[in-house]
Structure 1
Amino acid sequence: MHDQNYALNPAKTQSREVTSMLRNTYGLLAVTLAFSGLVAFLAQRANVAYPSIFVVLIGFYGLFFLTAKLRNSPWGLVSTLALTGFMGYTLGPILNRYLGMANGAEVVSAAFAMTALVFCGLSAYVLTTRKDMSFLSGFITAGFFVLLGCVLVSLFFNISGLQLAISAGFVLFSSAVILYQTSAIIHGGERNYIMATISLYVSIYNLFVSLLQIMGIMGSND
C-alpha cells in the first residue's frame, strides 16, 4: 500500500500543478483582456492616432522581452499589464477606422464574437481531449517567418489580395498557437503562467485584428 501511494503521488502532484497553472493563466488572461479593452476604449474615445510602425515594434518587443526577463518576479505582472495596455492603446485607432465604415459596428461585433468563439472552441477542444499539440511547433516556426516575409513585402509593394492573404494566414497562425500553448500548459511544456498568458493574449489580439481586416475587406466590396 505504501508503494502504491508513492507511485500515485507524482501523478497527483502533476495534476495539482496543471490545475494551478491553468487557474493562474486564465485568471491573468482575463485581467489583461479587461485592462487592454479598457485602454482600447479610452484610446478610441480620445480618437488617438495610430503610432508609427517603429513605435509599435519597439514598444511591443521592448515590453515583451522585459516581461520575459521579469517573468519569475512580481514585476513580471506589472510589465505584463504594460505590454497588454500598450497593445490595447494600438487597438483604439484600429477600432475607430472600422467603426467609421457604414457597417462598422457590425464588423467589429462579428469579429469580436468570432474571436471569442474560436478561442473558446480551440481551448475547450484541447482541455477536453488532452491531445498533445507539440507537433505544431514546426508549423508555427515556419508560419512566423512566412508571415514576417509577407508583411515586409506588403510594406514596399502594393500587391492585390496580399493583405487578405496575410490576415487569413494570421488567423491560422494564431489558432495554431492557441492549440499549442494550451497543450503545453497541460503536458508540462510551459510552467510559467506569465509567459503562457502573453502567448495566448497576443494570439487573441492577432486573431481579432485579422478577422477585422478580413471582414472589413469583404464588407467594403459589398
Structure 2
Amino acid sequence: MTAERTVQTSKAQTALATNSVLRNTYMLLSMTLLFSAAVAGTAMALNAPHPGIIITLVGYFGLLFAVEKTKDSAMGLVSVFALTGFMGYTIGPIINMYLTQFSNGGEIVMMALGGTGAIFLGMSGYALASGRRFNQWAGMLFVGIMVAFVMGLIAVIFSIPALSMAVSALFVLLMAGLIVYQTGEIVHGGETNYITATVTLFVTIYNLFLSLLQLLGVFAGEE
C-alpha cells in the first residue's frame, strides 16, 4: 500500500507540475502577444521604418540568447518581453506596407490573423486531445526549419519570389507541426520551463502570421 500510495503521489505531483507549466505558458504567451501587438501598433502609428534583415537577425538571435541565459531567473521575464517587443516592432512596418500596397490590405491582414489563430487553436487542441507526445517529430522539425531558414535567406538576398512563396508555404506546415510538438512536450513533461515554452510558441505564431500574410498578399492581394 505504501508503494502504491507513493506512485500515486508522484503521478499527482507530475500532473500538478505539468498543469502549472501549461497554465504559466499560456498566461505569459497571452501577455507577450498583447505587448507585441501594442508595440507593433505604435510602430505603425509612427510609420517607423523596418530595421532591415541584418538588424532583425542580430536583434532576434541576440535577445534569444539573452532569454536562454536568464530563463531560470526573474530576468528571464525581462528578456522575454524585450524579445517579443522587438519582434512586434519589426512586424509593424510590414503590416503598414500591406495596408498601403494593397487596396484590400486590411482584409489580408485580418485573414492572416484569423488563419494564425485558427491554426494555433486547432493544432493545440489536437495535441491536447490526442494524449500523445510528439517527441519523435523533433529532428524532422529542426532540420525542416533550418532548411527553410536558409532557403528564405537565399530568396531575400537574390530576390527570388517563387522560392520565397515556397518557403512561406513550408513555414506554415512546419509551424503547425511545431505547435503540436511543443504543446505535447508541455503536457507530457518534456518541457518544464514555461519561459522557453512561451518563446517557442510566440516565435511560431510570429512566423505563421508572416508566412500567411505573404501567401495571401500574392494570391489575394488587390493593388
Tell me the TM-score normalized by structure 2. 0.96
Structure 1 residue aligned with 2:75: 75
Paired residues, number = 222
- Deviations 1:40-67 (Å, cap 9, x if unpaired)? 0111111101002111011111110001
- Tell me which residue corresponds to 2:211: 210
Distance in 1 between residues matched to 2:33 and 2:161, nearest whole Å: 34
- The structural deviation recorded for 1:4 is 2.3
Name the residue aligned to 1:122.
123
1:128-156, CA deviations, whole angstroms, 9 ceiling, x for partnerless residues? 12211111112112112211221232133
TM-score, normalising length: structure 1: 0.96
Q: Deviations over 1:140-193 (max 9, x none)?
A: 121122112212321332334111111101111111111111111111211100
Map 1:110-149; keep pairs closer than 5 Å.
Answer: 110-149=111-150
Equivalent residue runs for 1:18-97 within 5 Å: 18-97=18-97
Whether the aligned pair in 1 keeps the contact of 2:103 and 2:222 (CA below 8 Å) is no
Task: Report the residue type matching 2:219 in the other structure.
Answer: M
Match of 2:174 in 1: 173
CA distance in 1: counterparts of 2:42 and 2:217, whole angstroms: 22
- Amino acid paired to 1:185: I
Note closer, same or farther for the CA distance 1:156–1:91 as it changes in structure 2 (3 Å cut): closer
**What is aligned with 1:186?**
187
Aligned to 1:6: 6
Pairwise CA distance, 1:3 = 3.1
Kept in 1, the 8 Å contact 2:70–2:76? The answer is: yes
> What amino acid maps onto 2:173 in structure 1?
L
Q: CA deviation at 1:2?
A: 3.0
- Residue 107 of structure 1: aligned partner: 108
Q: Secondary structure of 2:72's partner?
A: coil
Task: State the Cα RMSD in Å.
Answer: 1.3
Distance in 2 (alpha carbons) for counterparts of 1:142 and 1:58 = 21
Q: What whole-Å deviation, never above 9, does each CA across 1:83-133 have from its counterpart, x for those lacking one?
A: 000000001001101111101011011110110010011101111122111
Distance 1:31 1:129 in 2: 27
Letter aligned with residue 76 of structure 1? G
CA distance in 2, matches of 1:47, 1:120: 31
Amino acid paired to 2:157: F
SS, match of residue 48 in structure 1:
coil
Separation of aligned partners in 2, 1:52 and 1:158: 15
| Mapped contact 2:145–2:171 kept (Cα < 8 A) | no
AA matched with 1:128: A
4+ residue runs over 6 A deviation: none
Distance 1:48 1:169 in 2: 29
Evaluate the alpha carbon distance shift between residue 105 and residue 58 of structure 1 in structure 2; reply closer, same or farther with a 3 A threshold: same
CA contact (8 A) 2:172 2:212 kept: yes
